[in-house]
Structure 1
Amino acid sequence: MSEPMDIPAAEQIARLLAQVESLSRDNERLAADNAKLARAAAEAARVPAELERELRDELAAVRAERDRLVEMVLLANQRFFGCRSEKVVPDQLSLFNDMEAAADPGAAEPEAVPAEPRRRGGKRVVDYSKLEQVVVRHELPESARECPECGSELQEFKIEVTYALRMVPARLVAERRERAVYRCPACCAANAAGEDAAAAIVRAPMPAMPIKGSFATPSLIAYVLNGKYVNALPLYRMEYDFKCLGAPISRQNMANWAMRAWELWLSRLRARMKALLLEGDIVHADESEVQVLKEPGREAKCKSRMWLFASPACSKPIFIYEYNPTRSGKVAEGFLRGWSGWLCTDGYRPYFTLENGGEVVNVACMVHIRRKFAEIVKSVGGDAKAEAACSVALAARRRIDAMFAADSRFDGMAAAGDFEGRRLGRERDLRPMMEDFFTWAQARRMEASPRMALDNALKYAVGYWPYAMNALGDGRLELDNNLAERAIKPFVIGRKNFLFSDTPRGAEASAGIYSVVATAKANGLNPRKYLEWLLEEMPNAADLGDPAYLDSLMPWSDSVPEEIRLKPEAAAEAAKMADDPIIDIDPSAFSEDGE
């Protein structure tokens, strides 16, 4: 073994430097391995954290979707099975047990007053003097007119009178129409003798029938139209009724009568009504579904639309129904072509993008805005539960209710015709409330969960509130579109009874006849008697194209016979019976904004 001292110093230094370099490389490799292990450890620690975050986010999304679907189910159940009224304290009768629900053994019947009716004790008064009266006399037989005390003959000293109502069922009467024919004996004799003289024969004038060659009189056609378009009776039910009355009148006969009455006569009246409606500067509009089976180029299951355009409450009532295969905004554009004024509607978007060649100011219905909040409140169980949860929807609904309450203070001005006073009062009291609601709703929307019912309601409110505030611009305007909703309700009820129209021609006729009867009812007329009068007058008119003549047939004309008019109190009562003004008449079309 050699001694270290034998190795030169330079070689030893070189060896040491090599060892240092090797150790340095080993240290670098160890550092790289440590960094790699640290990265692997960090990655291993990060993956569970990210996975946990992803799972938490996914769980939150699933829960939000679940809440949204549960909310949708609650809203759907409320719309289809719950109380449809939006009043805070509804009083709804069931469609199934309406007799049991409406029955009240303690309720008094109308008071019978044969003459000079007078309101007493809050009862309704039936004026029997206005009805056909039949005397039914009850007397003792001669053999029973003996005094039970002494046997002397009893003598009548007074009459006790009570009244009862008896129903006389409808009956058909066959009119044997005999038309007298006259001749001049002298002229006929001269003619027979070969003289140059015409045989003078003169027939007595006879009123023209509504449908040439048909046995249907104005009263019979009016009865059918009233049954179908006022009482919503399907033709097959009336066919059975006529059969029971001894007349085999088929539904095809009745359908033909309705079509011919529309095409020959009522279409002219409806056209004049439309012209008068568009002379005004306020129109209410709405639409609803109708199914037409035999429509060219479309399947029978496709839904068409029945549109309604109505005059405001401050003018003579006019209601124009218009059939169209689509819900396109082109329908409203075509109907209102060249018209300028205030258009009061729900939030269906095409109403707000009309290009009709006129200047249209849109007025959005506040009831539709309120409805979305009201449905949320009802879906969670009512005001109490919503208040306990500090519901934004409840707060919104109450704010809108307060606006309606404030506006109701000016109803008297509108009834008296002081529309400028109403406008100034709204400007003073209502505008600050509406501007405050708009600011509040914008702030609440930032806090609402996306795609939930509250978010949709706030989005709808914020989007259409500026249009709702346009109602402040004219005292004749209303805050809602209830007038149009009430007017289209009879069609919706009738649609549920006869389900569909067979052809577009039939749907157009139905729309036109609805226009006439709805306008007649709104003007306080008996629609059956009015239709009968029209069908008596128009076939015998000299010039049906004369606007002045058509104006004389309008429901508000002084030419309408008095017996067709309902008494003012009866007309007012009939108007009240329309239905709850705040009601969703078409739950299948919950989204009115067309989105």
Structure 2
Amino acid sequence: MQTTTDLEAMRELLESMQGQIASLVSQNDTLAKQVSDLSEDLRAQAAESDKVIASLKAELAEAKLKEASLVEEIKFWNMRFYGSKSEKVAPGQISQFNEMEAAFDEEHPEPSIEDALPKRKGKPHRRGGKVNIDYDRFKTIVIEHDIPEGERACPECGCVLREMNVEVTKRLKIVPAQIYVEEHRRHVYRCADCCGANARGEERKSVIVRAPQPKPPIPGSFATPSLIFYVINGKYSLGLPLYRMEAEFRSMRAEISRQDMASWVINVHVRWLSKVHSRIKAELLSHDLMHADETTVQVLKEPTRKPTRKPRMWLFCSAKRDTPAYVYEYHETRGKSVAEGFLRGWKGTLTTDGYRPYFNLQEADVTNTACLVHVRRKFAEIVKVAGGDAKAAKSLYPSVALDARRMIDEMFKVDKAFDKLDARERKAKRIEELQPLMRDFYAFCVRSAEVATPRSKLDKALRYAIWSWPYVMNVLDDGRLELDNNIAERGMKVFVIGRKAWLFSDTPRGAEASAAIYSIVTTAKMNGLEPRAYIEWLLTEMPNAGELTDEVVDGFLPWSDKVPQECKLKPEVWEKVREMRDEPILNVDPAVFEDEVEYGPAEDEVLTLELPPERTQE
């Protein structure tokens, strides 16, 4: 029988066990909570790890994209600097430095003098007859090769030789530039009676009469129009710096400094050529079609600009089917304020590259057309970087660029067939045959842009094409328009080639004079004039023309009927000049591309992906 003590002990044991159970339950709850917290932490860490992994994958993909973009950029600039500098390279063309070796051909026959000299006008001779050469245009020096009279004996029998005929061989000789001194002798006459009476104190004037003498282009200067043009031609047509011409004059025994030459050029610009430049500009602004381009020019002594920053030489010129007029203008900036100022109040169609400010001009009623060559160029560069057509065709993205370039080439091919049509027929043919190709190309670019790697060269080329296309298709509205801006780019190339030799202008005044002279020389060439004869005529006649009103100056413009015949090129020569063939020299200074971000759409710009409206026949 249990005693009270045993019951108490059992009760204490039971209570102790209950306490232990409660403690275990509490510990179990604590452990369960800890397990739950640990699970939450693990889940959170797992989620965070997933985020980190995803972020790292995105960063890796971005890094790979950047790497591919940088590799593409390096290949692109290698191509720009070291590859061919033209999209169309003449066979055998290697470089200017190596042009002798490149042009040399052992199979090339020696030309005859008839090939080099001009032919007389008139009916051609029958086949096999003599070529009718115009020898009268060249001074002929006769050099006799004869046997001395005492040696005219037959080597066989000793009899006296009698002349049978004279064999004539003609060769060309060149005489280097020569300096002559013009001595102007102005005769002065007096009336002996009047002068005598005046000397005796009578109220009669002394009468002295001088023979009339034409005014020189620069009063008080010994420089003649021919000497001034020699400087102008050297600098602006041949691209020679003044220091080279200074050395050339020294070789002719004349000490004419570069300061003298610069002073002459600026002087005749201020007095005469600026007026011609101004009237050429007025003629251009009377047209309703225009092309424009611009490039860098270094001007050292410019008060408001650091010498290391480059202002711009702008070019505005007429369309291919209008009277040729080229206006170069120097400005400190490339801002759209320059184009707005030039075109203020003008109404018409402006063809340019993709420089954005052209497409948002104020104070002018401008319809824009974009150059198709610039669209093509971006795809062509991708194909070049890929290694050419064959390699590009085997690669994913370069093959897209190759297809795009070929589609554009087909557009040019189709359009070339309409070159000789009048404007109305050309417009109709373009709407019928060219418009379908244009719409297909636009749709192709929109589809391709959806799969192109963002910010890659292909993506940028496609975005540029999509952005440009509504402006490119504006060419369908007027048969006088061109698909490209080549007429302005070739005109600007004349300046760029010269700039490679003389590098910079010293002052804004010199740059403005250069702009005016380039305008006159290029406009004269494109109107069928020989620049030397034309500018000499200007500098001879303008100082003696009296008050130079606009009407008077218009008589001196390249297309005026008053321009003498001796200033005009022969038709066949003019046609060659009008072609303005591409030169192998191209400016590849990286600074030229410093603001290419201004071309085409902005990087974050949302493009309209709707097809431009379809044109219909009138």
How many angstroms apart in 2 are the aligned matches of 1:130 and 1:16? 137
Gap change, CA 1:394 and 1:197, over 3 Å in 2:
same
Deviations 1:51-79 (A, max 9, x none): 44433332222221111111111111111
Gap change, CA 1:232 and 1:513, over 3 Å in 2:
same
What is the CA distance between 1:553 and its match in structure 2? 1.2
- Contact (CA 8 Å) 2:314, 2:328: kept in 1 or not? yes
How many angstroms apart in 2 are the aligned matches of 1:529 and 1:520? 10
Residue 97 of structure 1 pairs with residue 98 of structure 2: yes
- What letter corresponds to residue 252 of structure 2 in structure 1? L
How many angstroms apart in 1 are the aligned matches of 2:535 and 2:204? 46
Gap change, CA 1:581 and 1:403, over 3 Å in 2:
farther
Residue 395 of structure 1 pairs with residue 396 of structure 2: no
How many angstroms apart in 1 are the aligned matches of 2:580 and 2:112? 20
Which ranges in structure 1 are unaligned for 5 or more consecutive residues?
A: none
Deviations 1:30-57 (A, max 9, x none): 5434434444555565565554443333
- What letter corresponds to residue 592 of structure 2 in structure 1? A
- What letter corresponds to residue 558 of structure 1 in structure 2? D
Count of aligned positions = 587
Equivalent residue number for residue 171 of structure 1: 178
Residue 197 of structure 1 pairs with residue 241 of structure 2: no
Deviations 1:346-401 (A, max 9, x none): 11111111002x31001110111111111111111111110111421111111111
Counterpart mapping for 1:488-503 below 5 A:
488-503=492-507
Counterpart mapping for 1:352-501 below 5 A:
352-356=359-363, 358-390=364-396, 391=398, 392-413=400-421, 418-501=422-505
Counterpart mapping for 1:225-236 below 5 A:
225-236=232-243
Gap change, CA 1:32 and 1:126, over 3 Å in 2:
farther
What is the CA distance between 1:129 and its match in structure 2? 4.4
Equivalent residue number for residue 568 of structure 1: 571
Gap change, CA 1:23 and 1:105, over 3 Å in 2:
same
Gap change, CA 1:383 and 1:125, over 3 Å in 2:
farther
What is the CA distance between 1:155 and its match in structure 2? 2.5
How many angstroms apart in 2 are the aligned matches of 1:125 and 1:10? 148
Deviations 1:187-240 (A, max 9, x none): 344444554433322110000011111111111111111111111111111111
Aligned residue for 1:199, secondary structure, equals coil
Gap change, CA 1:550 and 1:318, over 3 Å in 2:
same
Residue 517 of structure 1 pairs with residue 524 of structure 2: no
- Contact (CA 8 Å) 1:93, 1:102: kept in 2 or not? no
- Contact (CA 8 Å) 1:110, 1:126: kept in 2 or not? no
- Contact (CA 8 Å) 2:393, 2:402: kept in 1 or not? yes
Equivalent residue number for residue 555 of structure 1: 558
Equivalent residue number for residue 58 of structure 1: 59
What is the CA distance between 1:431 and its match in structure 2? 0.9
Residue 245 of structure 1 pairs with residue 252 of structure 2: yes
Which ranges in structure 2 are unaligned for 5 or more consecutive residues?
A: 603-618
Structure 1 stretch displaced more, 33-42 or 71-80: 33-42
What is the CA distance between 1:146 and its match in structure 2? 2.5
- Contact (CA 8 Å) 1:270, 1:515: kept in 2 or not? yes
- Contact (CA 8 Å) 2:269, 2:516: kept in 1 or not? yes
- What letter corresponds to residue 378 of structure 1 in structure 2? K
Aligned residue for 1:447, secondary structure, equals coil
Structure 1 stretch displaced more, 83-92 or 395-404: 83-92
- Contact (CA 8 Å) 1:277, 1:310: kept in 2 or not? yes
- What letter corresponds to residue 553 of structure 1 in structure 2? F
- Contact (CA 8 Å) 1:291, 1:300: kept in 2 or not? yes
Aligned residue for 2:450, secondary structure, equals helix
Aligned residue for 1:411, secondary structure, equals coil
- Contact (CA 8 Å) 2:490, 2:580: kept in 1 or not? no
Output the TM-score relative to the length of structure 1.
0.91
What is the CA distance between 1:498 and its match in structure 2? 1.2
- Contact (CA 8 Å) 1:191, 1:198: kept in 2 or not? yes
- What letter corresponds to residue 105 of structure 1 in structure 2? E
Gap change, CA 1:586 and 1:344, over 3 Å in 2:
farther
Counterpart mapping for 1:298-337 below 5 A:
298-337=305-344
- Contact (CA 8 Å) 2:188, 2:208: kept in 1 or not? yes
Give the root-mean-square deviation of aligned CA atoms: 3.1
- Contact (CA 8 Å) 2:315, 2:488: kept in 1 or not? yes
- Contact (CA 8 Å) 2:186, 2:213: kept in 1 or not? yes
- What letter corresponds to residue 82 of structure 1 in structure 2? G
- What letter corresponds to residue 62 of structure 1 in structure 2? A
Deviations 1:330-358 (A, max 9, x none): 000001110000001011111111002x3
Structure 1 stretch displaced more, 126-135 or 399-408: 126-135
How many angstroms apart in 2 are the aligned matches of 1:582 and 1:399? 28
Aligned residue for 1:341, secondary structure, equals strand
Gap change, CA 1:503 and 1:580, over 3 Å in 2:
closer
Gap change, CA 1:88 and 1:534, over 3 Å in 2:
closer
